[in-house]
Chain A
């Protein structure tokens, strides 16, 4: 069973290095889930961290600096054409000896995330955050800067579509 992550943004503001270490895995995972490119996922995540680093005086004062980085990644990751472009760019870099970031994932998982990315943009973001980090509705709303009710609606619609597309039972097991 996966351990549930702590709430985003503890009361104590971390140093950037601590913040980065704590959030790195989740943010790269989110970038991969939403971009679908194991070549470009780390670049998307690093770009967001770099943006946070450059503004750390301000970002570190936020209640949820992790939410800020996730929002940057989420907003930059979802687009079929962007994925195609990112891959081409990253493959060009790979051609000169830089290795891809993430290992290949099994076909079943790849098919699941393909289906998530085929959802409308907001639905894909909500569904990815819901599953990847088991975040409650209120935290997803905070990350994406939308109302909790809107998150609920996107999650409901997205899960219905996913279940239909993947031929699965959508009934919540909990």
Chain B
């Protein structure tokens, strides 16, 4: 076949898809108005949130000045540090922050990355090295940074010039990384890979598929991950899978179409938390049994995503989102003791993890 003929067929398919979009959505102007309203609302909320933060800070400062020995509030959620990311719609990447579980001490790490998660020791953070990707043109590799975002160490020992290594996790003994891998224009190379945590070399392939965001089981013998494929509903959704780190025992834990991206393995290894469309948190055991919803009495219009466990396994922290406004919340795995941890901000938050 000639290139130009193939190109015209491909163009026709795009035009058909756009035609269907126009037909199904009452015309493009309606969608533009809705998009504009959403962006304007985001802008208003950003302004409002900033004003609220300034006002609250001033109030707290005044109260502290008036009370020389204030009694510190004792948070219901145990003390700890959460790592989370804010998506930037325009730049289309995430900035990473740490924050105390009482909502204080929010720290901008100065790190831009697709994903970030704690090393099990809690003394370093695994990130995708987007900065180097943009500087060199790729491929994407992992890196690690100190908890304050400094001391970036590229883990770029892999010499494959095409394979991108993205989001992932550090094995409990900190010897290996499990990472999603893909090659542009070669879907056959997509899957979960392991490399050495010391330098990012020693590539081992674990899975073959459109697989993302792997996470090790607490004993390090298994990896849970998100898999998607074409033709499932809702579009872009997938299922949670688990595979043994020796490459055996691949199994699907959830029905297709039941999850989007990040899953989280409980510290005792008994549960995997994940986000179901649309905005519901679910738990499932690693053998696929006991699949059930975490009943969260969130305010109307809010959905939950990006679950992470507290180190003692007694709490789930997650993003609650309403449109483009997000905040961190926490609850027990049975949905009780639901509470808001951070003030809403006009961003879409992504992956969160509790410092071990």
Answer yes or no: are A and B bound together in one complex. yes
Contacts of B323 in A (CB 8 A): 96
Which of these, A24, A82, A97, A172, contacts B4 with CB under 8 Å? A172
Give A96 to B261 CA distance when docked, in angstroms.
14
What are the residues of chain B within 8 A of A101 when measuring CB–CB?
Answer: 21
Inside 8 A of A174's CB, which chain B residues have their CB?
Answer: 4
> Which residues in B have their C-beta under 8 angstroms from that of A91?
236-237, 260-261
- Chain A, range 3-43, C-beta contacts under 8 Å to B: 17, 20-21, 24-25, 28-29, 32-33, 38-39, 42-43
Distance, CA A162 to CA B323, complexed state (A): 40
Which residues in B have their C-beta under 8 angstroms from that of A38? 17, 235
Residues of chain A within 8 A of B18, CB atoms compared: 25, 28-29, 32, 102
Beyond A20-B28, A112-B10, A159-B3, whether A81 also contacts B21 by CB under 8 A is: no
Count of A residues near B, CB < 8 Å?
68
B266 within 8 A of partner (CB): no
> Taking the complex as formed, is B345 at the interface, i.e. its CB lies under 8 A from any CB of chain A?
no
Contact B184 A42 (CB under 8 A): no
Query: A132: which B residues are within 8 A, CB to CB?
Result: 11, 14
Interchain CB contact under 8 A, B138 and A53: no
Residue contact A85 to B3, C-beta cutoff 8 Å: no
Q: How far is the CB of B262 from chain A (nearest CB, A)?
A: 9
A88-B350, A112-B6 known; A32 vs B133 contact (CB < 8 Å): no
- Contact among B3, B15, B187, B231 for A169, CB-based, below 8 A: B3
A159 CA to B261 CA in the complex, in Å?
Answer: 36
- Once A and B bind, how many residue pairs between them come within 8 Å at the CB atom? 189
A-chain residues with CB within 8 Å of residue B13 when the two chains form the complex: 105-106, 108-109
Question: Nearest Cβ in chain A — how far from B131, in angstroms?
Answer: 11
Contact A173 B5 (CB under 8 A): yes
* B86-94, B98-106, B192-200: which lies at the interface: B86-94
**B28: A residues at CB distance < 8 A:** 20-21, 24-25
Q: In the complex, are the beta carbons of A97 and B36 less than 8 A apart? A: no
Residue of A25, A88, A99, A109 with most chain B CB atoms under a 10 A cut-off = A88
Q: Shortest Cβ distance from B147 into chain A, in angstroms?
A: 23
Q: Are B36 and A88 in contact (CB under 8 A)?
A: no
Given contacts A20-B29, A94-B260, A131-B10, contact A168 B1 (CB under 8 A): yes
Is B338 interfacial (CB-CB < 8 Å)? no
- A47-81 interface (Cβ within 8 A of B): 47, 49-50, 53, 76, 80-81
A159 to B4, CA, bound (A): 9
Give bound CA distance, A86 to B323, whole Å: 16
Q: Is the CB–CB distance between B279 and A96 below 8 Å?
A: yes
Q: Which of B76-130 contact A (CB under 8 A)?
A: 87, 89-90, 92-94, 114, 130
**A33 and B14 within 8 A (CB):** yes
A117 at the interface (CB under 8 A from B): yes
Nearest-neighbour CB distance to chain A for B345, whole angstroms, equals 15
User: Which residues of chain A are within 8 angstroms of B94 by Cβ–Cβ distance?
Assistant: 85
Are B10 and A113 in touch, CB under 8 angstroms? Answer: yes
- In the complex the two chains form, what is the Cα distance from A163 to B4 in whole Å? 9
A159 contacts which chain B residues (CB < 8 A)?
A: 3
Q: How far is the CB of A133 from chain B (nearest CB, A)?
A: 9
Is B140 part of the contact surface with A, judged by Cβ < 8 Å? yes
Known interface pairs A33-B14, A89-B92, A109-B10; A95-B260 also in contact (CB < 8 Å) = yes
Shortest Cβ distance from B228 into chain A, in angstroms? 9
Taking a contact as CB atoms under 8 Å apart, the answer to whether B6 and A166 are in contact is yes
Q: Which B residues are CB-close (under 8 A) to A81?
A: 114, 130, 133-134, 138, 140, 164
Chain B positions within 8 Å of A, measured between CB atoms, are 1-22, 28-29, 31-32, 35-36, 39, 87, 89-90, 92-94, 114, 130, 133-134, 138, 140, 164, 166, 184-185, 187, 230-231, 234-237, 260-261, 275, 277-279, 303, 305, 321-324, 348, 350
Query: Could you list 12 A-B pairs, sorted by A, with CB under 8 Å?
Result: A24-B22, A25-B22, A29-B15, A53-B32, A91-B237, A94-B234, A95-B260, A95-B278, A103-B20, A103-B21, A168-B3, A173-B5
Q: Would you list the 10 A-B pairs with minimal beta carbon distance, nearest first?
A: A109-B13, A118-B185, A112-B10, A109-B10, A96-B303, A46-B35, A24-B28, A105-B13, A131-B7, A100-B235
A101-B21, A118-B185 known; 7 other A-B pairs, CB under 8 Å? A92-B87, A94-B235, A109-B9, A109-B14, A112-B6, A114-B184, A168-B2
